[in-house]
């Protein structure tokens, strides 16, 4: 409404205040941290405007250290002290610090701004525009990590302030798809995954495989579902967020997977860590070290724990293996333009399906580190996965799907004498995993909304999907990436 009467500054102020209120609902203390972060970074940007070259370099270091220091205090201090105590035998203690939600996302966004300001790649924006970029509520708490220019350029485009029915329709579709991913599939699979990783030392081999698959599908559906919802809400306002996922489980190599998975985090590390370290310009040995540094940092970004470091290191080693060029993947669709270059002149070439299966398998294995409480739990999960046992724990795992949505089906089956309630739950678990696997092979959300299909059949399908999602909200959990 404010944009319609050309009150653009007032509209920006309103959106900024509402975004701050949105963040305030998670905790008043969190809002204070966010405001301090915004003000300090903006002050540094202002000082850079007046500073000379040598001083600018110092200010860049100060800005990066301030942002990393803020992140370290809230996210890593406890982990650091714990490891100091383990190594030295000291008895240092630190109060439990509640981490502001989304701090990893808005901190990285501001690091990119300060570095670009110091490098002469960003202007000193008006305070309101900078604040709106930082606190823009669709991306604030769980990303994607948007760069300042791609957002502020859109805020400044007056053409985007007019109501666009096409964007609005795409936004609704994206939001409904994301919501269904989250509440219908991800939250249901979470029941299986959470139970399995809690009961690691009691599981049998078959249950471990099911639990690992459940979590692999859950984490993708949960995070990409959020990104779809965030982009959907943003499109309602006429703003497009950067794409964060592009069908990662279709990748045929680890390197390709990371061109498709959490794409905004990958591009951040490439631009601000990998390239400044020398990238691939300083020989193979240095390239390997740079890749491993990036992936260890990526692991640490996700959480303060050795499990995350191991996950990052494993992914880094897989990417290094790709770079060695020993094994290549044949393109099974030669008529289609291949977007991703996998390897050049390999010693061995395998079919695309083999590369895809191997990549998916290794990612599933790596996520055991990502999800486990500690390394002991992770090793316990691997032991049960690769050394066959079958005490029959699978039925207990399926029992976690005893939810309201399945009540009617269970009653029908048991009253008609077709089977037991346990059998219904087992079949339900298999069906949910199968549906999730099927979804991975279909077009992703960006591809779907680009089709611009608005026929009666599509409207009915989206309406049914929205109703099912709303019914399933009784089981909603927090998003996995909220804690990052």
81 shares its domain with 187:
no
Q: What does the DSSP assignment read for 93-141? A: -----PPPTTHHHHHHHHHHHHHHHHTT-S----HHHHHHHHH-HHHHT
- Give the CB-side neighbour count of residue 424, counting CA atoms within 13 A: 20
In a domain, 468, yes or no: yes
Strand partners, 348: 327
In a domain, 483, yes or no: no
What are the two backbone dihedrals, phi and then psi, of residue 328, each rounded to the nearest 5 degrees? -115, 160
Is residue 38 scored above 60 in pLDDT?
yes
334 shares its domain with 468:
yes
51 shares its domain with 191:
no
In a domain, 2, yes or no: no
126 shares its domain with 189:
no
207 shares its domain with 61:
no
In a domain, 332, yes or no: yes
148 shares its domain with 287:
no
Angle, nearest 10°, between helix axes 205-236 and 375-386?
Answer: 120
Strand partners, 327: 348
In the residue annotation, 302 being an active-site residue is answered as: yes
Is residue 218 scored above 70 in pLDDT?
yes
Average pLDDT, the chain: 90
In a domain, 30, yes or no: yes
Residue reference for tokens 């991306």: 139
Is residue 161 scored above 80 in pLDDT?
yes
pLDDT by residue (tens digit) across 95-127? 888 899 999 999 999 999 999 999 999 999 999
Binned at pLDDT 50, 70 and 90, residue 421 comes out as low
64 shares its domain with 196:
no
Structure tokens at 204: 């049998």
The pLDDT of residue 215: 96
pLDDT by residue (tens digit) across 284-298? 899 999 999 999 999
Instruction: Say how many domains are in the chain.
Output: 2
Lowest mean pLDDT among 7-21, 198-212, 281-295, 388-402: 388-402
In a domain, 482, yes or no: no
The pLDDT of residue 228: 96
Domain with 155, as residue range(s), is: 8-87+96-162
Choice among 6, 148, 262, 302 that is catalytic? 302
Q: Which residues contact 393 (CB under 8 A, 6 or more apart)?
A: 199, 202, 203, 204, 207
């Amino acid at each position: 409404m404010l944009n319609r009467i050309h009150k653009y500054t007032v509209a920006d102020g309103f959106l900024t205040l509402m975004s701050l209120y949105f963040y305030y609902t998670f905790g008043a203390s969190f809002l204070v941290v966010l405001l301090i972060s915004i003000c300090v970074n903006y002050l540094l940007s202002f000082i850079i405007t007046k500073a000379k070259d040598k001083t600018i370099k110092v200010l860049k270091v100060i800005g990066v250290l301030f942002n990393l220091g803020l992140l370290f205090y809230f996210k890593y201090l406890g982990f650091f002290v714990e490891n100091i105590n383990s190594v030295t035998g000291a008895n240092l203690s630190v109060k439990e610090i509640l981490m502001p939600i989304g701090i990893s996302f808005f901190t990285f966004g501001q690091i990119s701004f300060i570095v670009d300001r110091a490098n002469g790649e960003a202007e000193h924006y008006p305070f309101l525009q900078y604040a709106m970029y930082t606190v823009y509520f669709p991306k604030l708490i769980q990303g994607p990590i948007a760069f300042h220019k791609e957002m502020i350029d859109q805020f400044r485009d007056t053409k985007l302030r007019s109501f666009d029915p096409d964007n609005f329709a795409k936004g609704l579709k994206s939001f409904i798809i994301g919501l269904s991913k989250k509440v219908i599939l991800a939250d249901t699979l979470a029941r299986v995954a959470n139970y399995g990783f809690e009961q690691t030392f009691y599981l049998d081999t078959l249950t471990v495989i099911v639990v690992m698959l459940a979590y692999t599908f859950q984490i993708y559906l949960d995070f990409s579902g959020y990104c779809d919802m965030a982009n959907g809400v943003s499109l309602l306002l006429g703003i497009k967020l950067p794409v964060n996922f592009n069908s990662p489980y279709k990748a045929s190599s680890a390197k390709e997977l990371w061109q498709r998975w959490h794409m905004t985090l990958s591009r951040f590390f490439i631009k601000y860590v990998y390239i400044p370290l020398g990238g691939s310009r300083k020989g193979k040995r240095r390239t390997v070290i740079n890749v491993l540094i990036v992936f260890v940092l990526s692991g640490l970004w996700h959480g303060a724990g050795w499990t995350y470091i191991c996950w990052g290191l494993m992914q880094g080693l897989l990417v290094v293996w790709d770079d060695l060029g020993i094994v290549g993947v044949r393109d099974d669709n030669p008529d289609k333009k291949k977007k991703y270059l996998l390897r050049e002149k390999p010693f061995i070439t395998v079919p695309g399906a083999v590369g895809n299966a191997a990549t998916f398998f290794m990612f599933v294995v790596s996520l055991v580190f990502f999800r486990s409480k500690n390394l002991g739990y992770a090793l316990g999960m691997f032991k049960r996965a690769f050394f066959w046992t079958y005490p029959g724990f699978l039925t207990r795992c399926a029992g976690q799907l005893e939810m309201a949505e399945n009540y009617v089906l269970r009653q029908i089956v048991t009253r008609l004498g077709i089977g037991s309630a346990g059998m219904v739950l087992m079949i339900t678990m298999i069906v949910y995993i199968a549906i999730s696997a099927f979804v991975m092979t279909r077009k992703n959300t960006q591809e779907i909304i680009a089709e611009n299909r608005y026929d009666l059949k599509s409207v009915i399908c989206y309406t049914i999907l929205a109703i099912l999602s709303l019914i399933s909200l009784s089981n909603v959990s927090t998003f996995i990436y909220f804690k990052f």
